[in-house]
């Protein structure tokens, strides 16, 4: 029996809401919550993905971070001069050899470009989940690049998901350079739970963690807490001491 169109749309809207709330849902969990067959769940996911509201993954779906977050190209042009100043400061904190992690943000991409100018590097290994960072550093003398696997989000040119977190297991980084979407008196935030989870995992694998955020991120509200200032993290920013103090940021 054919299900009326308005009931199908109501079910798909419910599914969109579940994925937004959870960040990621496997197919079996979707079937359980909506009381539908795997075939019906797949059809619903295909329709929602076609509208750009989710990213399909193997065996499930990732929330609309990939569709709603600004694209890599859009973010490249934001606070460009501030990002370049941050890149100069942060790149100096990268050791000339050993293992480091570079995040997927445009500020960290500017750091990668700065590393190309360093002449003291010897056998530096950069681990990243960013296709853009890998492209910048790939083939550079005395820099080896390892890319973590995961679900590819095309707007950000980034690999993300539970597989990416698992891929961190064998690594111990001398330093990790991370981006963020907001900073307030409590700490660093990002807009998507999967990204925040991944960055927290990176922190646990790093001897030093440097968050590289430009001044436009001060006071920006995003829902998922990555780290608090009380944790062993460092901030690299172009923001003035006064602006940080006015926002209650103790760095």
The residue whose two tokens read 């539970």 is 162
Q: Identify the three-state secondary structure at position 210.
A: strand
The C-alpha atoms of residue 243 and residue 178 are separated, in whole angstroms, by: 21
Angle CA 105–179–94, to nearest 5: 95
Query: Distance between CA atoms of 160 and 190, rounded to whole angstroms?
Result: 14
pLDDT, residue 119, reads 93
Say how many residues make up the chain: 251
pLDDT attached to residue 145: 97
pTM, full prediction: 0.71
What pLDDT is attached to residue 128? 98
Q: pLDDT for 147-196, tens place per residue?
A: 999 888 766 778 998 899 999 999 999 999 999 999 999 999 998 788 89
| Six token digits for residue 26 | 């496997």
CA–CA separation, 249 vs 183, rounded Å?
8
Spatial separation of the C-alpha atoms in residues 136 and 170, rounded to whole Å: 24
Sorted by sequence, the CB contacts under 8 Å of residue 171 that are 6+ apart come out as 99, 101, 127, 205
Structure tokens at 87: 């890149």
Task: Report the pLDDT value the prediction gives residue 74, as an integer from 0 to 100.
Answer: 45
Query: Exposed, middle or buried, 110 (CB in 10 Å: 0-12/13-18/19+)?
Result: buried
pLDDT higher than 60, residue 79: no
Residue 50 has pLDDT above 60, yes or no: yes
Q: Which two tokens stand for residue 242?
A: 């006064």
**Mean pLDDT in residue range 196-225:** 94
Among 177, 178, 215, smallest CA distance to 95 is for 177
Percentage of the chain beyond pLDDT 90 is 60
Average pLDDT on 118-147 reads 94
The residue with greater pLDDT, 126 or 162, is: 126
Banded pLDDT at 72 (limits 50, 70, 90): very low
Tokens of 113: 């470009």
Identify the pLDDT of residue 117. 93
């Amino acid at each position: 029996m054919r299900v009326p169109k308005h009931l199908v749309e109501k079910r798909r809207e419910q599914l969109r809401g579940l994925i937004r709330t959870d960040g990621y849902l496997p197919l079996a969990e979707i079937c359980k919550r909506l009381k539908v067959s795997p075939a019906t769940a797949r059809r619903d996911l295909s329709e929602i993905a076609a509208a750009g509201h989710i990213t399909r993954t193997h065996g499930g779906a990732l929330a609309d971070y990939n569709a709603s977050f600004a694209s890599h190209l859009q973010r490249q042009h934001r606070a460009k001069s501030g990002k370049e100043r941050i890149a100069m400061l942060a790149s100096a904190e990268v050791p000339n050899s050993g293992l480091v992690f570079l995040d997927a943000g445009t500020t960290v991409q500017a750091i990668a470009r700065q590393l190309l100018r360093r002449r003291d590097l010897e056998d530096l290994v950069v681990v990243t989940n960013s296709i853009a960072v890998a492209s910048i550093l790939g083939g550079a003398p005395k820099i080896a690049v390892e890319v973590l696997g995961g679900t590819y989000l095309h707007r950000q040119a980034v690999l993300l998901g539970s597989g990416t977190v698992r891929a961190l297991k064998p690594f111990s980084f001398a330093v990790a350079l991370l981006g963020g979407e907001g900073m307030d008196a409590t700490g660093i935030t990002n807009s998507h739970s999967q990204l925040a989870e991944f960055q927290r995992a990176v922190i646990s694998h790093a001897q030093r963690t440097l968050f590289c955020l430009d001044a436009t991120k001060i006071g920006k509200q995003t829902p998922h807490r990555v780290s608090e200032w009380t944790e062993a993290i460092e901030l690299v920013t172009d923001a003035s001491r006064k602006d940080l103090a006015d926002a209650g940021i103790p760095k």
